[in-house]
Structure 1
Amino acid sequence: MASLPALPQLGFSPCFKRRAPFLVKASHGENAVVDAQSEVVGRRQTLAMGAVAASISLLASAPVSFAAESLKGFQPVLDKTDGYSFFYPFGWQEVVVQGQDKVFKDVIEPLESVSVNLFPTSRQDIKELGPPQEVVDALIKKVLAPSSQTTKLIEAAEHVVDGRSYYTFEFVAKASNYTRHALGSISIANGKFYTLTTGSNERRWDKMKEKLHTVVDSFKVFAL
């Protein structure tokens, strides 16, 4: 297509849970308030999904304690109500952010976080929305980053895990006083458009990227 599709054309509309905003003081002169949009900036995946996907698939049938042991240094999340699971780094804390289904973050480095967002959709497969770059580019500009930030999509690709398609991506969002490097994964199941995004301050990207790739690679949605 010659132009980016608007959100209605992507087949979903925002459906946020009403929660109180979470305010944090960012370190090293970063933004004093990390809002819901700046916390869900997403980007690329370069790690193979096989090894982590194999362990995350155990979540649906195995106890959470067993899943936690299968990936050292990470904690599992299994949402049986909404139908998704993933791992996040040990030590991150769950916080309440308006508009997000679930958020975990490092309270010292507030740009290091993972967020899950859900949107209702009538589509059955992520591929129905269009090719990865087109869909992800529209999602970043309309949902994942505020208009005040400059964004750059680095990569978007399709992956198939257990017969389900995922679009994974990497992008940079630049604000006036910080730059966030992030990764994301999106898929469709159960009448929902699932979006997981994680990232860190650009200055800590080299230190955090391996962990963040593991978070994105672990994301899995399942039929309810």
Structure 2
Amino acid sequence: MASLQHSLSIHHRSLSLNALPHAQSGLQKHGVLPVCRRGFSFLVRAEHASLASSSIPQDKCGRRQIIAVGVIASWVSLVNQTLESFAAESKKGFLSVTDNKDGYSFLYPFGWQEVLVEGQDKVFKDVIEPLESVSVNMIPTGKLDIRDFGSPQEVAQILIKKFLAPPNQRTKIVMASELYKIIFGWRCMPQNDVDGKAYYTFEFVAQAPNYTRHALGAASVGNGKFYTLTTGANERRWDKMKDRLQTVVESFKVFNV
């Protein structure tokens, strides 16, 4: 027992997560992952249905179909341009990181600087507000899906209690769930995965004697690795930073390499 506690203490200081696969090996699969459904696709189909059901003289059918197709094509093109513009707008004030070797990418706020932290693969932080940071950690795993480790609540509980906060801090999970993204004002509908991978997201508070950190995290499995991204800020700046930190978490993506 003493040896195990010593091992967990070492892993905790490095935030390595090495004990997670073993600790959760008996947990059962749970949950489904949502993906986004674009609202304009239904409108296009509805327009086609309206054209098909309308009463159009046979001799004018060809011309009207051509006009309708042109109108629909132009409208879809306009919507696509709007979506692309919306995506570009949502990234203003952020810089992107893509690790083609380890297979992940994410955004971080402009002005944060990269620093080296033992046990972490990537860390960016604000030099003025040191509690405002984002870090990515990876460990090997034989699992193929994060749901093999248990529910979002179970995984978040172990990550936060054992690895993401020092043992002398009081922690509280605010929420833990599978990933939901918002695109163009539409909330995603539940499906099995996003880009073939499931993601868990969680929110927690860690209280130290002289400060409280409010944090967000995301975790996924791919390429034989368990990935964890964590970002946060001082509680006193949470209202100001939460939207930006949410953008960081939602931008996290694991891809095959």
Residue 91 of structure 2 aligns to a residue whose secondary structure is coil
Distance (Å, rounded) in 1 between the aligned partners of 2:90 and 2:170:
38
Partner AA of 1:172 in structure 2 = V
Residue 187 of structure 1 aligns to a residue whose secondary structure is strand
Q: Does residue 136 of structure 2 align to residue 122 of structure 1?
A: no
Residue 127 of structure 2 aligns to a residue whose secondary structure is coil
Structure number with the bigger relative contact order (C-alpha 8 A, sep ≥ 6) is 1
Q: Does residue 219 of structure 2 align to residue 186 of structure 1?
A: yes
Gaps of 5+ in 2: 1-18, 26-33, 38-86, 180-192
> What TM-score do the two structures reach when normalised by structure 1?
0.71
- Cα deviation digits, residues 132-169 of structure 1 (max 9, x gap): 10111011111111101100001000134223100000
- Please, which of 152, 166, 171 is the counterpart of residue 204 of structure 2? 171
Partner AA of 2:239 in structure 1 = D
Distance (Å, rounded) in 2 between the aligned partners of 1:109 and 1:118:
25
Distance (Å, rounded) in 2 between the aligned partners of 1:174 and 1:126:
28
Partner of residue 71, structure 2? none
Distance (Å, rounded) in 1 between the aligned partners of 2:242 and 2:95:
17
Partner of residue 10, structure 1? 24
Structure 1 residue 70, shift from structure 2 partner = 6.8
- Please, which of 242, 249, 255 is the counterpart of residue 209 of structure 1? 242
How many residues align structurally? 168
Partner of residue 231, structure 2? 198
Gaps of 5+ in 1: 1-5, 12-47, 52-66
Structure 1 residue 199, shift from structure 2 partner = 0.3
> What TM-score do the two structures reach when normalised by structure 2?
0.62
Residue 171 of structure 2 aligns to a residue whose secondary structure is strand
Structure 1 residue 49, shift from structure 2 partner = 8.1
Partner AA of 1:9 in structure 2 = A
Distance (Å, rounded) in 1 between the aligned partners of 2:225 and 2:89:
30
Superposition map of 1:19-168 within 5 A: 71-159=91-179, 160-168=193-201
Decide whether the 8 Å contact of 1:49 with 1:217 is kept in 2.
no
Structure 1 residue 68, shift from structure 2 partner = 8.0
Decide whether the 8 Å contact of 1:121 with 1:191 is kept in 2.
yes
Partner AA of 1:121 in structure 2 = T
Distance (Å, rounded) in 2 between the aligned partners of 1:108 and 1:50:
37
Decide whether the 8 Å contact of 1:49 with 1:218 is kept in 2.
no
Residue 164 of structure 1 aligns to a residue whose secondary structure is coil
- Cα deviation digits, residues 185-224 of structure 1 (max 9, x gap): 0000011000000000000000000000000000000111
Alpha-carbon spacing, 1:136–1:126, altered in 2? closer, same or farther (3 Å): same
Distance (Å, rounded) in 2 between the aligned partners of 1:158 and 1:95:
29
- Cα deviation digits, residues 62-117 of structure 1 (max 9, x gap): xxxxx988711100000001000000000000001111100000000000000000
